[in-house]
C-alpha cells in the first residue's frame, strides 16, 4: 500500500509533550531497578536519553534496526545487535510501535527486556509491555527531531 493511502492524518509531537509522556511512563516504573536502557536506533535514541535522565540510569546500549523506505511498507530490515544478553533487567525503548515489524525482531533478540514505546498503533500494541498513547493505524507520528516534517503536519 502506498504511504499516501496508508496515512490519512498526522500527530505532531512537541518536545514538551514527549517529555511529559515519558515522565508519566517513568512514574509507573518507580521502585523498580534496571541494569540500564537499550535504545532501538534511531527512533528510540532521544526517548532513551529522556528515560535515562528521569530514572538516573547511565548504562546505555543500542540496538540498531534499519527498515527500508521511510513512509512505505517495509520490505527489508538489517539489525546490529550491540549487546550479548537476553535483556533481563534492562529497559528496551523505542519511540513508536507501528506495524510491529521492528518490535517482533527486537523481542526475539531481547525476550526478557521490559519493552516500552512512547506511542503505539493497534497493529503493534500487543507486542510492547507498556506505552503512553495509542494513535490510529492511519496516523503518521511526527517527532520533534525529524528534520523535514510534512508541510501539513
Ligand X SMILES: O=P(O)(O)OC[C@H]1O[C@H](OP(=O)(O)OP(=O)(O)O)[C@H](O)[C@@H]1O
Catalytic positions: 94-95, 98
Q: State the residue number with the nearest CB to ligand X.
A: 43
Cell matching residue 120: 503505539
Q: How far is the CB of 103 from ligand X (least distance, A)?
A: 6
* Interatomic CA distance for residues 32 and 35, integer angstroms: 10
Site map (CB under 6 A) of ligand X, residues 60-99, x = contact:
-------x--------------------------xxxxxx
Tell which one of 6, 23, 42, 125 touches ligand X (CB under 6 A): 42
Q: How far is the CB of 98 from ligand X (least distance, A)?
A: 3
| Dihedral (CA of 113, 26, 53, 117) sign | positive
Q: Which among 1, 5, 9 has a CA at the least distance from the CA of 150?
A: 9
DSSP 1: -
Q: Which are the contacts of 61, defined by CB distance < 8 A and separation ≥ 6?
A: 36, 37, 38, 39, 82, 83, 90
Smaller CB separation from ligand X, 97 or 114:
97
Q: What is the size of the binding site for ligand X (CB under 6 A)?
A: 15
How many CB atoms neighbour CB 97 within 10 A? 28
Residues 106-145 that bind ligand X (CB under 6 A): 124
- For binding to ligand X (CB under 6 A), which residues are involved? 40, 42-43, 67, 94-103, 124
Amino acid at each position: 500500500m502506498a504511504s499516501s493511502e496508508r496515512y490519512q492524518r498526522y500527530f505532531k509531537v512537541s518536545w514538551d509533550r514527549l517529555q511529559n509522556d515519558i515522565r508519566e511512563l517513568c512514574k509507573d516504573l518507580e521502585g523498580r531497578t534496571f541494569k540500564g536502557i537499550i535504545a532501538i536506533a534511531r527512533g528510540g535514541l532521544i526517548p532513551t536519553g529522556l528515560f535515562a535522565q528521569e530514572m538516573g540510569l547511565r548504562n546505555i546500549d543500542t540496538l540498531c534496526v534499519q527498515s527500508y523506505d521511510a513512509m512505505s511498507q517495509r520490505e527489508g530490515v538489517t539489525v546490529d545487535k550491540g549487546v550479548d544478553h537476553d535483556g533481563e533487567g534492562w529497559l528496551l525503548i523505542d519511540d513508536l510501535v507501528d506495524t510491529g515489524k521492528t518490535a517482533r525482531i527486537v523481542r526475539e533478540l531481547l525476550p526478557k527486556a521490559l519493552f516500552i514505546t512512547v506511542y503505539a498503533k493497534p497493529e503493534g500494541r500487543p507486542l510492547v509491555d507498556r506505552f503512553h498513547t495509542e494513535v490510529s493505524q492511519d496516523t503518521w507520528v511526527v517527532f520533534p527531531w525529524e528534520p523535514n516534517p510534512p508541510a501539513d503536519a
